[in-house]
């Protein structure tokens, strides 16, 4: 019974550690998204580019028009 309790305790602690890592990653992702929207609001191309990979593409879709795309640098 003691081994079972220790095993369960280690599993719980392990899961809490994994969740803490997810929270850190989640905060980093949300920070990048917020920077993107702040850059868009400020019309700041440098700020917007800072959130994107070099090979990023932006794809615009509007109603029944064909989708268009531009590179990060365009």
* pLDDT tens, residue by residue, 34-62: 998 899 899 999 998 998 888 888 888 88
**Mean pLDDT rounded to a whole number for the chain:** 78
HEC letters along 3-72: HHHHHHHHHHHHHHHHHHHHHHHHHHHHHHHHHHHHHHHHCCHHHHHCCCCCCCEEEECCCCCCCEEEEC
To the question of pTM greater than 0.75 for the whole model, the response is: no
């Amino acid at each position: 019974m003691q081994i079972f309790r220790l095993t369960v305790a280690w599993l719980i602690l392990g899961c809490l550690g994994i969740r803490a890592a997810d929270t850190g990653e989640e905060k980093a992702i949300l920070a990048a998204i917020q920077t993107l929207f702040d850059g868009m609001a400020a019309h700041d191309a440098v700020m917007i580019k800072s959130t994107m990979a070099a090979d990023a593409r932006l794809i615009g879709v509007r109603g029944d028009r064909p989708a268009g795309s531009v590179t990060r640098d365009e």
